[in-house]
Amino acid sequence: MGNNAVNTLQVEVIYARPDEIWRTQVELPHGATALQAVQASGLLTRHPDFHQDSEPPLGIYGRICPSHQVVQAGDRVEVYRPLVFDPMESRRRRQRHRQRKKA
């Protein structure tokens, strides 16, 4: 009789929205990927933000990773939202705004 806990690992899946932080622990077999962790968490079906035909951008502890990245026990798989504004464009707009205020 084998111990099933030895053959599995636990990871946390987290998704931060402007109004809430959603997180859950999932148990996966060794060799599971970041995308499999997200799928096992049920996040994609609970949040309509995601299109079923595309994979969300993922990361592990703040570092972007491919969806096929193998996860380790204790990893925190993060699901990223698309950027609303281009950061460079936002900086340019702020700079133009500051210049207009000075004039």
Q: Supply the CATH number for residue 55's domain.
A: 3.10.20.30
Q: pTM for the whole thing?
A: 0.73
Q: Torsion angle of alpha carbons 48, 16, 30, 8, nearest 10°?
A: -90
What pLDDT does residue 73 have? 95
What pLDDT does residue 2 have? 47
- Which of 61, 15, 59 shows the shortest CA–CA distance to 34? 59
Distance CA 60, CA 46 (A): 21
Distance CA 36, CA 27 (A): 11
- Mean pLDDT estimate for the chain: 86
Structural domains of the chain, count: 1
Confidence tier at 1 by pLDDT (50, 70, 90): very low
Range of the domain at 92: 4-102
What pLDDT does residue 47 have? 75
